[in-house]
Amino acid sequence: MRFHLRCLSLAVLVGAGLSGPARAAETAKIGAALSMTGAAAVYGATQKAGIQLAVDEINRSGALHGLKLQAIVEDDGSTKEQGINVYQRFINRDRVSVIIGPTLSTTATAADPIAEASRVPVLAVSNTSPTGITDIGPYIWRVSLTEKQVIPGALRRARAKLGFKTAAVLYGNDDVFTKAGYDVMRSALPQQGVKILGTQTFAKSDRDYNAQLTALMALKPDVLMVSALADNGSAIVIQARQLGYKGPIMGGNGLNSPAFIKNAGPAAEGVLVGTSWNAASPDPVNQRFIAGMKARGVNPDQFSAQAYTGVYVIAEAIKLAGFKAGREDIKAGFARVKNLDTPLGRFSFTPQRDGEHEPALQQVKGGKFVILQ
Ligand code: 1QQ
């Protein structure tokens, strides 16, 4: 009798959580490994806001037929070691269905192989190194466009506007993303008839770039190309302007953060950067994203748009898998996502599991990114 009563109260409890008539309340856990501290901390906070907005919208809409999403956000510390630890907790302790992240390509090269070996799908939302990410294996997918998908087109458009013929390049040589961005610049510049006059490097911990910039400025380049994370990038443009460089500066993905503009101040004016998010898109899905972020008091940026899109891609995969949210279901669902309407545009995966949609070119004007049409 007592046993029956207990069963009954359990059934009532479970019943109270039901949101669809015939379906037990189920939660799909998304582990998000984001850089909340360390060299990439400027990106993590807005990524987290984008994820939470998307999770709340999807849960409120009931679009997953009573299935709810839950995001568990942990700090990857912008390092390989912490990224690995966070992945292990997500996989073994939290038993997540899918992992979003980690913020940096560098961290992904170390952490993603663990998810691949454990057969847990990963959706990268900010990794832009063309190599070393999705080629880890079939469980690794990505929303973010690579530097190879963005920089050549952005360079072509910038060159058409400004007509530069020579370049100097400064890049971080201790980070997978900054090095990959440099590799793309090194091949795209000469391919487009722009001669590289000189190249200099720095490390993430450097704060003084005067020696490198002085050597590059002496070559009198038409354009300065910078592959750096936002923190280094803002100090680099400040020091370049202090040294008297007046020409155009073009950056890679690391500069796509409003934090870059805030930290560089007036020195950021005119900086050009290719982006995967066309903030000016009038598409209602994009406008709804922008309004949703502003309503929460968060400035929408490319990183939050990509993270928000990542959650919608996961929801679409769950839907395409028949509203099932197991690890294999989500992986199989990813393979069927096509032309999904997102703030980034119509989103599909390439056969190599990378993201595919239209990139844009933006420029800092009046302390803000402005899309160049
Ligand atoms: C990478 C990047 C960074 C700038 C993302 C935050 O693109 O590490 O791949």
What pTM was computed for the model? 0.93
Please state the atom number of ligand 1 nearest to the C-alpha of residue 127: 9
pLDDT over 90 at 14, yes or no: no
Q: Which residues line ligand 1 (CB under 6 A)?
A: 40, 43, 103-105, 126-129, 177, 229, 253-254
CATH topology of domain 148-275: Rossmann fold (3.40.50)
Percent of the chain with pLDDT over 70: 93
Please state the atom number of ligand 1 nearest to the C-alpha of residue 147: 7
Mean pLDDT for the stretch of residues 351-370: 97
Predicted confidence band of residue 25 (pLDDT cuts 50, 70, 90) = low
Please state the atom number of ligand 1 nearest to the C-alpha of residue 303: 6
Measured in angstroms, how far is the CA atom of residue 67 from the centroid of ligand 1?
Answer: 32
What pLDDT, in 10s, does the model give residues 313-342? 999 999 999 999 999 999 999 999 999 999
Measured in angstroms, how far is the CA atom of residue 128 from the centroid of ligand 1?
Answer: 6
Q: What are the residue boundaries of the structural domains of the chain, listed by start? A: 5-145+280-356, 148-275
The pLDDT, as a whole number, for residue 373 is 81
The pLDDT, as a whole number, for residue 253 is 98
Which residue, judged by its Cα, is nearest atom 4 of ligand 1?
Answer: 254
Least confident of 2-6, 83-87, 238-242, 245-249: 2-6
The pLDDT, as a whole number, for residue 2 is 40
Predicted confidence band of residue 292 (pLDDT cuts 50, 70, 90) = very high
**Average pLDDT of the residues of the chain:** 94
Mean pLDDT for the stretch of residues 209-227: 98
CA-to-CA separations, 286 to 63, 138, 309, 341, 348, in angstroms, rounded: 19, 30, 10, 9, 16
Measured in angstroms, how far is the CA atom of residue 81 from the centroid of ligand 1?
Answer: 17
For a ligand 1 pocket test, name from 229, 232, 255, 303 the mutation site with the most ligand atoms within 8 angstroms of its C-beta: 229
For a ligand 1 pocket test, name from 177, 178, 185, 255 the mutation site with the most ligand atoms within 8 angstroms of its C-beta: 177
Please state the atom number of ligand 1 nearest to the C-alpha of residue 106: 8
Measured in angstroms, how far is the CA atom of residue 253 from the centroid of ligand 1?
Answer: 7
The pLDDT, as a whole number, for residue 3 is 37
For a ligand 1 pocket test, name from 47, 104, 146, 227 the mutation site with the most ligand atoms within 8 angstroms of its C-beta: 104
Q: Which CATH class is domain 5-145+280-356?
A: alpha beta
What pLDDT, in 10s, does the model give residues 144-192? 999 999 999 999 999 999 999 999 999 999 999 999 999 999 999 999 9
The pLDDT, as a whole number, for residue 20 is 39
Of 108, 176, 187, 186, residue with least CA distance to 143: 108
Which residue, judged by its Cα, is nearest atom 7 of ligand 1?
Answer: 128
Q: Determine contact, residues 232/172, Cβ cutoff 8 Å.
A: yes
